[in-house]
């Protein structure tokens, strides 16, 4: 069966499991703009086990999703004893790029302000995101151009994790990705200004790329090209190939947070890697 077909058939089981998640923690809502999607959710675990803070940027093809929809991610991360901030951003096609990265940077700065107001240190931050969120979070971490433009300070970031990211636009794209990029970018927009592999510059932040060879939306080569670029400029990068049976795009990029570390190797890799930093 084609991976794209497997992806489409996976949605029912994923959504069913997602809506069965028990809400244990009520996150704090913080708005950082006038648009309904310009907000973040802050999760404080019931039992804190780490001083590392995870900042998560959701996926959804740039045109769907928000932190409330992905509440189960915050519930899972908090249940593992980590503080987490989940950032929202304006969506396409109504809002064309660079509105999304502008919001991510603004939301990141608001997240730092919130942490400082709470007296929480901001020197052990982990930036991460799946799919479209991997695209945006990788630019946040590695694009000096965007950091300067939006006054972003990443000195407190100690790690980056991306799942299923469209890091390179030179790799042959699926019909789905072509359609989504067409909604995201204005005609004539220089794609290099939105391409993580072109924007990445050398810095101190190590990265973990989690990618599946059975992703029917994003080619595995996207991560390979991103790692190749990282190696060229001296950025520390580990590329982890998904081993779980649930290796379709939506399952391994976001659905993994619906499972336990003991049953999902990708989820365990994520937390194990963070613990090692």
Residue 156: CA atoms inside 13 Å, Cβ hemisphere, count?
20
Percent of residues, the chain, with pLDDT higher than 90: 91
Band of residue 224 on the pLDDT scale cut at 50, 70, 90: very high
Q: Evaluate if residue 14 carries a pLDDT over 90.
A: no
What pLDDT, on the 0 to 100 scale, is given for residue 16? 84
Residue closest to 167 by CA, chosen among 91, 214, 240, 229: 229
What pLDDT, on the 0 to 100 scale, is given for residue 19? 82
Band of residue 2 on the pLDDT scale cut at 50, 70, 90: confident
Mean pLDDT computed over 117-140:
98
The residues, ordered by sequence, that sit 6+ positions from 165 with a Cβ below 8 Å of its Cβ are 129, 130, 131, 134, 135, 138, 196, 209, 211, 218, 222, 223, 226
Q: Evaluate if residue 7 carries a pLDDT over 80.
A: yes
What pLDDT, on the 0 to 100 scale, is given for residue 229? 98
What pLDDT, on the 0 to 100 scale, is given for residue 44? 98
pTM over 0.85: yes
Mean pLDDT computed over 263-271:
97
d(CA 44, CA 33): 23
pLDDT digits (tens, 9 = 90+) for 97-114: 999 999 999 999 999 999
Q: Evaluate if residue 11 carries a pLDDT over 80.
A: no
Mean pLDDT computed over 246-268:
95
Average pLDDT, the chain: 96
What pLDDT, on the 0 to 100 scale, is given for residue 67? 98
Angle 67-73-76 (CA atoms, 0-180°, nearest 5)? 145
Helix (H, G, I), strand (E, B) or coil at 159: strand
Mean pLDDT computed over 24-39:
97
Helix (H, G, I), strand (E, B) or coil at 189: coil
Taking each helix axis from N to C end, the angle separating 99-117 and 132-142, rounded to the nearest 10 degrees, works out to 70
Domains identified in the chain and CATH numbers: 3-276 (3.40.50.1820)
Mean pLDDT computed over 30-34:
98
pLDDT digits (tens, 9 = 90+) for 160-203: 999 999 999 999 899 999 999 999 999 999 999 999 999 999 99
What pLDDT, on the 0 to 100 scale, is given for residue 1? 64
């Amino acid at each position: 069966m084609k991976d794209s077909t497997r992806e489409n058939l996976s949605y029912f089981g994923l959504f069913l499991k997602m809506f069965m998640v028990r809400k244990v923690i009520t996150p704090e809502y913080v708005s950082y703009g006038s648009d309904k999607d310009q907000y973040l959710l802050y999760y404080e675990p019931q039992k804190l086990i780490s001083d590392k803070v995870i900042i998560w940027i959701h996926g959804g093809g740039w045109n769907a999703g928000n932190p409330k929809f992905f509440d189960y991610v915050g519930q899972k991360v908090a249940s593992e004893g980590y503080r987490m901030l989940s950032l929202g951003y304006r969506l396409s096609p109504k809002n064309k790029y660079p509105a999304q990265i502008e919001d991510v940077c603004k939301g990141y700065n608001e997240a730092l302000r919130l942490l400082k107001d709470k007296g929480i240190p901001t020197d052990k931050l982990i930036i991460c995101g799946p799919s479209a969120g991997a695209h945006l979070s990788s630019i946040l971490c590695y694009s000096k151009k965007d950091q300067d433009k939006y006054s972003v300070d990443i000195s407190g970031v100690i790690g980056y994790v991306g799942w299923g990211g469209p890091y390179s636009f030179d790799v042959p794209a699926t019909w789905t990705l072509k359609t989504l990029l067409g909604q995201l970018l204005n005609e004539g927009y220089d794609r290099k200004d939105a391409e993580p592999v072109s924007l990445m510059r050398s810095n101190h932040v190590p990265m973990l790329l989690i990618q599946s060879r059975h992703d029917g939306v994003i080619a595995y080569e996207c991560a390979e090209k991103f790692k190749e670029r990282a190696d060229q400029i001296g950025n520390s990068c580990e590329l982890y190939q998904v081993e779980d049976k649930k290796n379709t795009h939506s399952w391994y990029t976001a659905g993994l947070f619906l499972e336990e570390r003991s049953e999902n190797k990708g989820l365990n890799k994520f937390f194990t890697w963070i613990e090692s930093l």
